[in-house]
Amino acid sequence: MGSTTIDFVSAQNGSGATVVRVCGELAVDTIPKISETFDTILDKHLPFVVVDMMGVSLFSSSVLGHLMGYREKLVSKDGDLVLAGLSLEIKSELNLLGANRVFKIYNDVQSAINSYRWDREHISQSLSLSFPSELRFVPAVRQLASRVARQKNYGSRDSFRIETIVDEVCNNAVEHGKSGRGKDVALNLTIDREKIELQVVNETDPDKVAVLKELSTSILKAPEKPGSAVGTDRKRGRGLALIKMLSNDLRIDFSEEGTSVHVTRRRGE
């Protein structure tokens, strides 16, 4: 086997993923060691395996065939075997053999684990942002939210609605909040496969708090009839009414520290 090493790294930091790190040449003589490693994995009922190929310089078709066999066994138990960190040359060779139609291939190990955790462990991910309280920055912020949703496979319609929600919430924060140096808007976005949660916090202009409280209370309590809360005779509150109609849950908290808007939108509704 020469200088080729095959290291079995057990499940990573609480995720259900197992990493098998390989360095050197994956030639025919490595098959016994590969078999030993994967037989152990199967015995331990570890469902998801990432083969870290970053240090691999050669990948023989016999070894590939072997890995395909192990993958089949894992898939039959609702698991998978994926490859990560391949060089361009090896990736091209695998494409030639059609292996890319069998194995999922990732840029690196963590990308593979992230994908697994997202799909199988239903994790959520959070992004937080602090930006100056000015309207001109809101388009970039709403596009950020929309693009994150699209990257996480939310449909274009869903992503557009999320963009609208972020736009309206941030616009309100800027319009009714304190501005100037240090008066930033803080946004937190948490996304999982089923929903997106948004929280926007900023300091409110003290002259506006009472009016805002009253307005938001009336809108949040109003019946949800399309058009009713956004009639042309109402000059204020259309944004809030729109947010309410596009979201599954909307909560606004006023405190001395500032206004905090919480929105939840479930995917595909």
Residue ranges in contact with another protein by CB under 8 A = 12-15, 54-55, 57, 87-89, 91-92, 95-96, 100, 105, 107-111, 113-114, 117, 123, 125-132, 134, 136-137, 139-141, 143-144, 147-148, 150-153, 179-181, 184
Q: Smallest gap, in angstroms, from Cβ of residue 231 to another protein? A: 31
d(CA 120, CA 101): 21
Q: Smallest gap, in angstroms, from Cβ of residue 146 to another protein? A: 8
Q: 68 or 96, CB closer to another protein?
A: 96
Q: Smallest gap, in angstroms, from Cβ of residue 224 to another protein? A: 31
d(CA 198, CA 170): 11
- DSSP code of residue 182: T
Q: Judging by beta carbons within 10 Å of its beta carbon (0-12, 13-18, 19+), is residue 73 exposed, middle or buried?
A: middle
Q: 43 or 207, CB closer to another protein?
A: 207
Residue 237 near residue 215, CB atoms below 8 Å? yes
d(CA 143, CA 149): 10
Residues ≥6 apart with Cβ < 8 Å to 227: none
Q: 15 or 62, CB closer to another protein?
A: 15
Q: 81 or 109, CB closer to another protein?
A: 109
Q: 5 or 57, CB closer to another protein?
A: 57
Q: Smallest gap, in angstroms, from Cβ of residue 88 to another protein? A: 5
| Number of neighbours of residue 88 by Cβ within 10 angstroms | 7
